[in-house]
């Protein structure tokens, strides 16, 4: 029956009839990108159209597509041993954890999972159990920031500060609180950047105090808010948040799911700031998304609380696929590529070039701000520069479509509920070549120029 059912149907029709696309409007008949092949920075669709992937997939293919050595690493590991659960251990998992400690230049323990959401769920559970086992049984609340994205599962979504992503699924998990992050483009004029950032950090401390510090387990934040529109804090903010956490006995969880693995021009995003996180979550760039893998890194002294005499003081959490040996082997090889090709410093250098080149876009009446760190950039679109009112969604959609028509994929982010879905995002593979970067710059300049005069 199956053969008859699909007879004569195009791949596009089969897609529309069978595949539920992620975060897309139901029955959205706009032509999706049906990808067939990807090499380097390029995606080729089923009709042979080529697109430069200016978003590295979902901010994840850091070393670019088509790396045979990664396919080989997976193949060899699968042949040798396709599966072993992390209730035991295995060689690629051990080697990877050791390598991650070298990269972090510190002493963490690593708990493997499958996705960024999983890694954050694990972080929340560890934070709650840590306090519970220390006798601080009332510390369960997690503070995160509005506009941040921390994942799609119920806990990670509860930590997410983007209401439109959540309201259809409520009630979510209890005990998650939100505080506004620094948005330096929209800071009040009478405050300096430093004053404003300290004020935003103080909002976290105020929340801790108002909620009673003995109820707060952890603060989670990305070093730079990514999905919420590339919000780059001043260093005083990040340091102040760490100090506040320490002062009030609250753990600091740093979400490196996007910022990790070279994206910001440092191996980890938090290394742009003078802090030592208690817990770090990583995914995406860990394997460049060749296979699913994530990790929750936990400072050793926190881990120790799970190893003391009491028989019940262990972490009762398991997932079947987390730390799959082939995924760990791919992650090790992926990190090796990053080191051999100096992709972290390349991210810093090329990112600076891209940001400098794009400053010219400031001449357009509808461009409010251009900000970036490494190969992670945001272009904030506004109705006009004085009011800073966010640009209409149609303007953002038009620019994205026109870039795609010219063979360039870019992203759009922000928090839709407050109208802030007006930030164009750029996050190309760290392995992007100079020519490809120039191609990207040329298309963006051309499309932005045309939009100065074109009607919506
Ligand atoms: N944290 C951050 C900062 C993310 O950007 C994402 C995904 N975009 C996640 C967590 C969740 O990761 P995943 O989609 O792998 O569950």
- What is the pairing mode between strands 216-221 and 141-145? parallel
> d(Cα 318, Cα 309) in Å, to the nearest integer?
21
Ligand 1 pocket test target in 258, 294, 413 with most atoms within 8 Å of CB: 258
Cα of 220 from ligand 1 centre, angstroms: 13
CA quadruple 364, 367, 369, 372: dihedral sign:
negative
Strands 42-45 and 35-39, sheet pairing: antiparallel
- What's the confidence (pLDDT) of residue 24? 80
Residue 181 has what pLDDT?
Answer: 97
**Alpha-carbon torsion angle 60, 61, 62, 67, nearest 10:** 160
Q: How many residues does the chain have?
A: 456
Ligand 1 center from residue 149 Cα (angstroms): 7
Residue 4: what pLDDT? Answer: 66
- The ranges assigned to domains in the chain are 2-63+342-453, 70-340
- Residue 363 has a pLDDT of 96
Strands (E), 54-188: 108-113, 141-145, 176-179
pTM here? 0.97
- Ligand 1 neighbourhood includes 225 CB (under 6 angstroms): no
Q: What fold is seen in the domain 70-340?
A: 3.40.640
Nearest atom (ligand 1) to Cα of 294 = 15
**Under a CB-based contact definition with an 8 Å cutoff, are residues 143 and 207 in contact?**
yes
Q: Which atom of ligand 1 is nearest to the CA of 227?
A: 5
Q: Burial letters for 215-247: b for 16+ Cβ neighbours within 10 Å, e otherwise? A: ebbbbbbbbbbbbbbbbbbbebbbbbbbebbee
Burial 366-384, CB ≥16 within 10 A → b, else e: bbbbbbbbbbbbbbbbbbe
pLDDT at 311: 74
Residue 209's pLDDT is 98
Q: What is the mean pLDDT of each run of 10 residues along the chain (456 residues)?
A: 73 91 73 93 97 98 98 98 97 98 96 98 98 96 97 98 92 97 97 98 98 98 97 98 98 98 98 97 98 98 90 92 98 98 98 98 96 98 93 92 97 72 95 98 98 83
Residue 33, classed as helix, strand or coil, is: coil
Contact 179, 145 (CB under 8 A): yes
At the topology level, CATH places domain 2-63+342-453 in: 3.90.1150
Mutate to test the pocket of ligand 1, among 124, 149, 294 (most ligand atoms within 8 A of CB): 149
């Amino acid at each position: 029956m199956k053969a008859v059912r699909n007879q004569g149907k195009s791949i596009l029709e089969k897609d529309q009839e069978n595949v539920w696309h992620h975060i897309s409007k139901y029955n959205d008949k706009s032509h999706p990108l049906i990808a067939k092949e990807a090499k380097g920075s390029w995606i080729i669709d089923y009709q042979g159209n080529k697109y430069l992937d200016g978003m590295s997939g979902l901010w994840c293919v850091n070393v670019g597509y088509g790396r045979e050595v990664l396919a080989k690493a997976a193949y060899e590991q699968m042949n040798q041993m396709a599966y072993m659960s992390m209730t035991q251990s295995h060689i690629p998992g051990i080697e990877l954890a050791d390598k991650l400690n070298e990269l972090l230049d510190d002493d963490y323990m690593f708990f493997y999972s499958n996705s960024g959401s999983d890694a954050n769920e694990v972080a929340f559970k560890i934070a709650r159990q840590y306090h519970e086992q220390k006798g601080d049984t009332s510390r369960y609340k997690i503070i995160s920031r509005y506009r941040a994205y921390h994942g799609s599962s119920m806990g990670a979504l509860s930590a997410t500060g983007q209401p439109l992503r959540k309201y259809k699924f409520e009630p979510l998990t209890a005990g998650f609180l939100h505080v506004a992050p620094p948005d330096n483009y929209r800071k009040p004029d009478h405050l300096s950047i430093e004053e404003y950032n300290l004020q935003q950090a103080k909002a976290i401390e105020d929340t801790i105090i108002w909620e009673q510090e003995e109820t707060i387990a952890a603060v989670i934040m990305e070093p730079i808010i990514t999905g919420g529109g590339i919000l780059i804090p001043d260093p005083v903010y990040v340091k102040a948040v760490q100090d506040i956490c320490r002062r009030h006995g609250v753990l600091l969880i740093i979400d490196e799911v996007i910022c990790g693995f070279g994206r910001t021009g440092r191996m980890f995003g938090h290394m742009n700031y003078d802090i030592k996180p208690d817990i770090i979550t990583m995914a995406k760039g860990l394997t460049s998304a060749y296979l699913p893998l994530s990790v929750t890194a936990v400072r050793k002294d926190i881990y120790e609380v799970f190893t003391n005499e009491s028989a019940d003081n262990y972490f009762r959490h398991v997932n079947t696929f987390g730390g799959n040996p082939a995924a760990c082997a791919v992650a090790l090889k992926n990190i090796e590529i990053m080191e051999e090709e100096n992709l972290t410093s390349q991210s810093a250098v090329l990112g600076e070039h891209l940001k400098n080149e794009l400053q010219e876009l400031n001449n357009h009446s509808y461009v409010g701000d251009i900000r970036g760190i490494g190969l992670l950039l945001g272009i904030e679109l506004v109705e006009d520069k004085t009011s800073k009112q966010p640009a209409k969604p149609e303007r953002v959609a038009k620019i994205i479509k026109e870039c795609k028509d010219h063979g360039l994929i870019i992203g759009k982010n922000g928090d839709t509920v407050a109208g802030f879905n007006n930030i164009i995002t750029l996050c190309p593979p760290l392995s992007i070549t100079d020519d490809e970067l120039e191609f990207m710059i040329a298309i963006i300049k051309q499309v932005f120029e045309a939009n100065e005069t074109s009607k919506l």
